[in-house]
Structure 1
Amino acid sequence: MTDQTAPPATALPYLTPGTRAALASLLVAAICLALEGRADWLWEWPDAWTLPVTDWISQGLGWLFDLIRPVVRVISTLLRYPMDWVNVALVQTPWPLIIGATVALGWYAGGLSLALLSAIGLGFVLASGYWVEGMNTLALVFVSVPLALILGLFIGIWANESPRARPWIEATLDLMQTVPTFAYLTPLLLLFGFGPVVGLIASAIYAAPPMARNTLLGLQRVEAEVKEAGIMAGATRRQQLALVEIPAASTQIMIGVNQSLMAALSMVIIAAVIGGFDDIGWEVLLTMRQANFGQSFLAGLVIVAFAIIIDRISARMATNRDRHDLRISWIILAASAALAVYAWAALPAASDIALLAPTVEAVDGALTQFTRATGATLDSIKNTAMFYGLLPLRIGLDGAVLPFTWGFSWTATMSWVLLGGGAALGLAVALTGRVAFGASLPVMAVVLETGVADLPWPFVLFGVGAVAWVAGGWKLTRLALVLLALILVSGLWERALLSLYLCGAAVIACAVLGGLLGLLSAVSNIAWAIIRPICDMLQTIPLFVFLIPVLMFFQIGEFSAFLAIILYAIVPMIRYTRHGLVTTPPELLEAAVAAGATKTQIMRDVRAPFAAPTILLGLNQTILYAFAMLVITALIGTTGLGQSIYLALGQADVGLGIAAGAAMAILALISDRIVQGFAEERRRALGL
């Protein structure tokens, strides 16, 4: 991912690439500040320079859609048949039989613990009163997943068999996984119209890349001896692939099945925004809009129950070859079938069971009382975070410091004091030998004074290009600048900066809090025993559900979106930080102990440097998770590209939806490549 022909070494050892990048960015910032008020085009991209990209996309895709719509509608009609059949089968099948079949599968895959989990999970779904809606959701998953698996398997095999096509396929998979989920729905909406078929197709497209990646990875990891054995046996290429390599890669491919299942479930829930289908996703969305948080929370827990059961069973099938007594599974299945047959008349219909209805009313009542009692405290927490944290980062201290929030007004003198103080502090730090960090401090002061959303576009372009140059050389720099220029000329620059601000704030919070929790988990087994199941649970919850708890306590707004992003994106940071810190080679630890290092010194000087590449990969995953969640938070009132994508979905504006989705994918892709570049540099420095 990085350019090995990166910046040449300088004759001045203190002018490292990082130092030169920081100094150059500082120079551009100084020029922009000096010209403020005299060259407005530096601060706001002129409308005359903006290209009608969204109109071009709308016209081009409109022509294409008109051409292929008849064929697409036939495909849509054909897909409705299996979806309706599966839906009728799941809804009409007696609920004891479905629960029994799931418990039997859980026993076969994981024994008593997984069987009990399946029984408790589906028992909760039944008691919630959402059994029919849950079966409607599963019907979409059960039809979309086979399509995604077939598509992903074909793409993975194609990439493995064609070295020329592999880079293009991998780039396409990267793009598919960085494009926001809502962006999938806008063109599909125009092609297929409203309804569950859109969710079905969107889920199949969204769930295919994990299967393709794991298929390719599994085939690439097949041992050379295994391949040679197939060749020596006289197998043709197709026979070798089907009979030797795919079976050898089955474990990795099954991991792809697990990830595709979870992706499909997540996308089915999101697709409820335009489906209007009687499923769990629609129930969550409807109850959230009605501020019926008790019912919304219950529906969200139903999604969580499905996600946990699907994740645990498919993961166990993928990673553990041990199977439990199949006869017990048949006994469980037979007992459930007998119950369904002999107690047919006595069994209540699933739609008539709502044992948790009183609990929902109690939750609503308790929540109402809690918010009334603590409303002032919750508002104080939200306002403090907004006025003294998020808002200054968004519009700068010169715009956020006002008498009714801070007690005084920000003046031009204060701006110069801040910038001068940043420069003086940077100089003092540079004199200690940390020149790159010292040069970065005045740049940070500029960002703090101006705000991310109001930064001049030359400074952003140059700053990102400089960081990309340090991370991956000129190749990455060119990529970053070209992609950012596309956002600039498309007229989406201001919205892109708003997205960058909120996502960046959440990533910083995740890096600090997740890093500390990862450190705590690395040094304390007790802490990890508590944190690990929480991380496991958070990773199985679909994105939609994270909105419910933050809305319950903080209503709509950027602070709620900020918290939702943190809840979703913090897990990789925790896991990767812990993993990096606990996998330090024993010989390094022994050498440090022999040298008389304390535990703190070992952590700071041995474990942390060795763990840096792994921690950076965790940061990379956190950034991608944050961008994914950022689009979903458009449902609760955020601004930026996510809001544009959501509005385009409601207005069926395919041009705006595609352009905003592409802009969001560009930001995620650039961030991904830069962090990967730094991680690769650290691995090379450690000799890994």
Structure 2
Amino acid sequence: MTLTRGAQAALAVLVVGLICRLFGGSVEWLQSWPSVFVLPVTDWINSGVGWLLDVFKPIARGMSWLLGFPMSWVGTILGQTPWPLVIGLTTALGWHLGGLRMAALGGIGLGFVLLSGYWAEGMNTLALVAVSVPLALLTGLAIGIFAFEYPRVKGAVNAVLDVMQTVPTFAYLTPLLVLFGFGPVVGLIASAIYAAPPMARNVLLGLERVESEIREAAVMSGGTRLQRLFLVELPAGASQIMVGVNQSLMAALSMVIIAAVIGGFQDIGWEVLLTMRKAQFGQSFMAGLVIVIFAIVIDRYSATLAGPRQKRDRRVTWGIVGVGVVLAVMATLVGSNAAEISAFDKVAEVVDTSVGAFTAANGAALDSLKNGTMFFGLLPLRIGLSDAVLPFTWGFKWTVTHSLVLYGIAIALACVMAMRGRLAAGVVLVILVGMVEVGIAQLPWPFVLAGAAALGWVSSGWKLARLVVVLLLLILLSGLWDRALLSLYLSGASVFACALVGGLLGLWSAVSRTAWMIIQPICDLLQTIPLFVFLIPVLMFFQIGEFSAFLAICMYAIVPMIRYTRHGLTSTPEEMIEAARSSGAGKWQEMFEVRAPYAAPTILLGLNQTILYAFAMLVIAALIGTTGLGQSIYLALGKADVGLGLTAGAAMAILALVADRLVQGFAEERRKALGL
């Protein structure tokens, strides 16, 4: 019998796992990477980068001083402008961009910000965004044009952009803190760096999609290269470039909130962080809602720039502005100050009281949910059944006999699957059982390397397998392997939960329009909420801990799985559906035998996005009690340890990059199998 590539890879990994399991107790290096081979990468970076930072620190401090001026000017303008005029201008812009509904969104949204009592903090946040976004857009535009004009560097530019988008956000902050010092300018620069890659990618994509006929017409008209680029090609790709503007705005807003950790600036991010630390969940909830309002308004306004817009009556636009001016004059005359307006103080008190009452009344149920998930789900995945199953939690102690019975059942099922021609699936089942029995955080390093290499070989061949092994070896050499496995465990558990629940919700949305009408606005809302805000609801009910981090990651990462699953299942060509129906296929046969196989590449791309989202949120979740690389990055930030921050950030980026390449490989293989 000829073994398939998948069966060969699975058997090789199984052999490596058996060797590690049988001899790991006597041969220590099979279980743990020898400490003699651990390189002091953190110290090298600190010593190597230290002098570099010292050289550039005066330049950086000068830039910080210069950037402080525009930020101060914008902050002063927004802070001193009467609130009716700001709301009027926002409402008028909404009317100009999208009509009545958009105008109502802007007016009501900023009205809520005013009544929340966070007007001054909100204007400070908008000042940071207003200064950082132009920097990000100009940088992204320059990078995108450079990569388009010089195709030889396109691969390198894309690789740099991949790294910038996979390196955790907190990792940016550590070297920036050392260079630019403590203050709001650090948040501004971090936001610009984080928001530039989406703009660069969309500029490059927009220029590549310009039709050849347009380019030829520009050449025939005798224009210079700069004229053709700025007068023809960039305007022709404007729709795609505007998508980049939207994404950059949202990225900048999200990063501004995160940068509040070291900014010390009186903005909304700082308010959220401060109230969370004081366990003032009512105030934290209100401040979080302000962030959500800003995110929704900015997202909706900027998204309209990417598509066609109807012309609006300019008289209405100027009429709204005029009303704002009149109300601003009246507010100034009567001495109305936005800082004195706070209509929701009692709401915050009610939230605190309600949360306290709810947790007091349902504390046993909440603890049962948290402890049940930890003891019977997360903990066995982390340290394995052999260590997690105890009389205190499960009612009995796991013994060697239990392991033998578990492996016996798994082997029996694998034999049945092999007799049915599913040898690879049977071997994978045995491997998964062994991983659960041992625990992801305690997996031997040779087994992890062999498993990752096997996945790379099956999905894309030896080139990806070698790349995966080399990247993971870098983590081993850095001495961060144990922390990397902890991050892999929590992100893996979150991705599995998102894939299961998100896949089911996507399936439900695909078969029911009513379900999609309910789920779609929830997905839209979750995608506009900055990462930081997801911590608030889980802290309200479950306090600090790994379970809270798990929930926050799942809330943030589940949306791509829902959207891509539904999109894949509903985009099957009609001719395939008609052929299935004419052959007598039922509704569910059509779904699982026709739509699902065709949707597999799209669903895998959704899984890929879910993985990247989970890693992004993993570092933010370090604020509420995770272990692993995220905690190391956060600790490095507190100590201003550039070496540890960069090393741990690079390790996190490597894990995300490996997962990204593996899933993309399987998606591409599936597309080729379908002839797409």
- Under a length normalisation based on structure 1, what TM-score does the superposition of the two structures give? 0.98
CA distance in structure 2 between the aligned counterparts of 1:578 and 1:231, rounded to whole angstroms: 43
Match of 2:534 in 1: 546
Question: Which residue does 1:582 correspond to in 2?
Answer: 570
Partner amino acid for 1:167?
G
Q: Are 1:472 and 2:460 matched, yes or no?
A: yes
1:205-220 equivalences in 2 (<5 Å): 205-220=193-208
Q: Deviations over 1:420-449 (max 9, x none)?
A: 322222122111111110110110111011
Find out whether 1:642 has 2:641 as its counterpart. no
Q: Which moved more, 1:635-644 or 1:324-333?
A: 324-333
Cα distance between partner residues in 2 of 1:107 and 1:613: 40
Among 583, 589, 596, which residue is 1:595 paired with? 583
Match of 1:659 among 612, 637, 647: 647
Tell me, yes or no, if structure 1 residue 510 matches structure 2 residue 502. Answer: no
Structure 2 match to 1:491 = 479
CA distance in 2, matches of 1:46, 1:302: 50
What's the CA shift string for 1:307-358, capped at 9, x where partnerless? 0000000001222332322221111011101111134122521111110001
CA distance in 2, matches of 1:107, 1:317: 13
2:488 corresponds to: 500
Partner of 1:410: 398
The answer to whether structure 1 residue 23 and structure 2 residue 11 are counterparts is yes
Range with greater deviation from structure 2 (417-426 or 586-595)? 417-426
Alignment deviations for residues 476-534 of structure 1 (CA, whole Å, 9 cap, x no partner):
11110000000001000000000000000000000010000000101110000000000
- Separation in structure 2 between the aligned mates of residue 349 and residue 321 of structure 1, nearest angstrom: 36
- Give the alignment partner of residue 620 of structure 2, picking from 620, 629, 632: 632
- Distance in 2, matches of 1:524 and 1:644, equals 44
Structure 1 SS opposite 2:390? coil
Report what 1:556 is aligned to.
544
Look up the match of 1:438.
Answer: 426
Rounded Cα–Cα distance in structure 2 between residues aligned with 1:347 and 1:580: 57
Aligned to 1:286: 274
1:164 corresponding residue in structure 2: 152
Alpha-carbon distance in structure 1 between the residues aligned to 2:548 and 2:296? 25
Letter of the structure 2 residue corresponding to residue 534 of structure 1: I
Could you say which residue in structure 2 is the equivalent of 1:537? 525
Quote the offset at 1:43 in angstroms: 1.0
Residues 82 and 331 in structure 2, CA contact (< 8 A), matched pair in contact too: no
SS in 2 for 1:235: coil
2:442 corresponds to 1:454: yes
Q: Return the alpha-carbon distance in structure 2 between the equivalents of residues 453 and 167 of structure 1.
A: 35
Amino acid at match of 2:521: P
Matched to 1:624, the amino acid is: L
Kindly indicate whether residue 122 of structure 2 is the aligned counterpart of residue 122 of structure 1.
Answer: no
Q: Distance in 2 between matches of 1:20 and 1:496?
A: 27
Matched position secondary structure for 1:164: helix
CA distance in structure 1 between the partners assigned to 2:154 and 2:309 by the alignment? 31
Residue 423 (structure 1) aligns with: 411
- Partner in structure 2 of residue 69 of structure 1: 57
Q: How does 1:173-572 map to 2 (within 5 A)?
A: 173-572=161-560
Equivalent position SS for 2:332: coil
- C-alpha separation in 2, matches of 1:117 and 1:598: 44
State how far apart, in whole Å, the 2-side matches of 1:343 and 1:655 are.
53
Q: Which has the higher contact order (CA 8 A, sep 6+)?
A: 1
User: How far, CA to CA, are the matches of 1:524 and 1:206 in structure 2?
Assistant: 38
AA aligned to 2:597 is P
Take 2:466 and 2:56, find their aligned partners in 1: how far apart are those partners? 36
Once residues 49 and 182 of structure 1 are traced to their aligned partners in structure 2, the CA distance between those partners, rounded to angstroms, is 28
Partners of 2:651 and 2:312 in 1: how far apart?
A: 49
What residue is the counterpart of 1:8 in the other structure? none
Alignment of 1:16-165 (within 5 A): 16-165=4-153
Q: 1:44 offset after TM fit, Å?
A: 1.4
Q: 1:490 to 1:583 in 2, by over 3 A?
A: same
- 1:350-383 per-residue CA deviation (whole Å, 9 max, x = no partner) reads 1111100011111111111101000110000000
Contact 1:104/1:330 (<8 A) preserved:
yes
* Residue deviations 1:400-421 (CA, integer Å, cap 9, x gap): 0011000111112212222232
Shift of 1:39: 0.7
Identity %: 68
Partner of 2:136, secondary structure, is helix
Contact 2:98 2:309 (C-alpha < 8 Å) held by counterparts = no
Checking the alignment, whether the CA contact within 8 Å between 2:71 and 2:127 is kept in structure 1 is yes
Q: In the alignment, residue 165 of structure 2 is paired with which amino acid?
A: Q
For each residue in 1:534-568, what CA deviation from the matched residue of structure 2 results, as whole angstroms up to 9, or x when unmatched?
A: 00000000000000000000111111011000100
* Equivalent residue for 2:665, pick from 667, 677, 687: 677
Answer whether contact 1:210 1:256 (CA < 8 A) is retained.
yes
Rounded to whole Å, the distance in 2 between the matches of 1:17 and 1:561 is 38
Q: Secondary structure at the match of 2:461?
A: helix
Paired with 1:60 and 1:32, the residues of 2 have a C-alpha distance of 37
Say whether the 8 Å CA contact 1:180–1:628 is kept in structure 2: yes
Query: Which SS does the other structure have where 2:336 is aligned?
Result: coil
Aligned positions, number: 676
What's the CA shift string for 1:619-656, capped at 9, x where partnerless? Answer: 00000000000000000010000000000000000000
Amino acid at match of 2:482: E
Partners of 1:128 and 1:389 in 2: how far apart? 40
Contact preservation (8 Å) 1:110, 1:323 = no
Instruction: Give distance in 2, aligned partners of 1:540 and 1:387.
Output: 33
Paired with 2:573 and 2:231, the residues of 1 have a C-alpha distance of 39
| Amino acid aligned to 1:614 | T
Segments of 5+ residues of structure 2 without an aligned counterpart are none
Compare 74-83 and 429-438 and name the one that shifted more: 429-438
Residues 179 and 661 of structure 1 are in contact (CA less than 8 Å); yes or no, is this contact kept in structure 2?
yes
Deviations 1:254-284 (A, max 9, x none): 1100000000000000000011110100000
Cα deviation, 1:83-137, whole Å, max 9, x if unaligned, reads: 0000000000000000000000000001000101111110110000000000001
In 1, Cα distance between the equivalents of 2:62 and 2:74?
19
Q: Deviations over 1:165-200 (max 9, x none)?
A: 100000000110000000000000000111000000
For the aligned residues, what is the CA RMSD?
Answer: 0.8
Distance 2:359 2:311 in 1: 49
